[in-house]
Amino acid sequence: YHSIAFYGHTDVTLGQYLEEMCFDLHYDCPSNNRLCTHPMYEHRRSYIHHLGKIDVTMDEYPCPIERMSEVILMWGECRLCHKHTPVTRMSDESWRYSFGKYLETTFYSDTLAPRACVCPHDIHRDYVRCFALRNMVVKFEYSAFRIWSIATPTTPLYFNMEVSIRLKEEEARELRKRLDDYYASLASRLEAFPLELVFDERVDECKNALNLLAARAATEQIYFQQTLEQTLRNSHPADTLVIAVVYVALQDKVVEWNLHFSELVQSFIQLDASSRAITAAKRVMSSESLSGSDIGHAKGAPPLASEPKTDALEIIDELHSAAHHHDYVPSDTGVLNTAQFEMPHVCASPSAELSTPTALPAGGSTDSLLDSPLMSRLHRRL
């Protein structure tokens, strides 16, 4: 911002401006930007006022009149019809004219046609005024523009209520589905608990614990359903953030159920390496031998299709994996698989490579069985 007082200490004459600030090729850029190393004649200077802007540019230009390169020559070129006024020498009165007044006349003057009657266009706004000296030319070009004012928003912010209500209903519908899917998966996994791996004397106790957990899961499901409906009734129809309270409570319950399953495995599945491990391996081996034998069909006939079975060791692996994964996020797939005992969104069981049971050696020795990959994996997990 620069204020010009006509013919005062902040003003210069038009001739001084041209000779000292334009045609002086050694005049450096006066800005505080130290990165600018270009001389001033390579710059574009702009003067903005009211509804217009005047750009001042310089360029090399041969002298339009021979042997008059050491005096200031001036003329105008129309941007609309490309005609130009005669080239004349700058008079002393024009040299002493106030530069600030020259800018003001361009910004505020009425329509004025050139005296030479070259064309009917405005000499201030439609013409490019040129000043030449020493094979250099200075051009003054006016351009109009619109000034936009800043419009601040109102203090209260308004939202589209219909969109917020629709989003809240969709979020509540999704949460109901996730609640039902999660507690249905809990019931399926409690039902698929591997009772064949529990101590014989503690089977009844394990069944009672599983029944208690199943009843607790059913009660919690009803509680969360009622909590969600009550939250929706007691909140504003467009308040979409209130459902987050139910999400937080459900996440806490997910972590709590992970701990319950971990305690369940540690309490009832306490296999030792000598007896319980061999028993589990024999059961797996027996089921594999039964499916591959020729019992129940004639010689040469295709074997009967065996029923899908659940690998007890894989179930234990899943239980241990689930007990150490507390960063569960409820699944939105809605597909429940009761053939495996795994917590929702738990990573794949590391025992997947042991899905093929290992048979006992021909001699029936248990020592070689304990050294097998299946038994080594069982020892490490239990």
Q: Which amino acid is at 323?
A: A
**357 to 113, 175, 287: CA distances (angstroms):** 103, 41, 9
Cα separation, 16 vs 43, whole angstroms: 18
Residue 49: per-residue pLDDT: 87
Residue 157: per-residue pLDDT: 75
CA angle (33, 36, 39) in 5-degree steps: 125
Residue 353: per-residue pLDDT: 36
Cα separation, 76 vs 229, whole angstroms: 80
Residue 88 is classified by DSSP as: E
Structure tokens of 377? 């994996």
Residue 311: per-residue pLDDT: 46
Q: Which amino acid is at 365?
A: S
Beta bridge partners of 53: 48, 143
Residue 219: per-residue pLDDT: 93
**Structural element, H or E, at residue 259:** helix 244-268
**Contact at 8 Å (CB) between 50 and 41?**
no
150-172 pLDDT, tens per residue? 888 778 877 788 998 999 999 99
Residue 269: per-residue pLDDT: 79
State whether the Cα torsion 194-266-335-212 is positive or negative. Answer: positive
Bridge-based pairing state of the strands 52-60 and 45-49: antiparallel
Structure tokens of 53? 């802007």
Low-confidence ranges of the chain (pLDDT < 70): 1, 270-382
39-61 pLDDT, tens per residue? 888 899 999 888 899 999 999 99
Residue 335: per-residue pLDDT: 36
CA angle (93, 26, 9) in 5-degree steps: 45
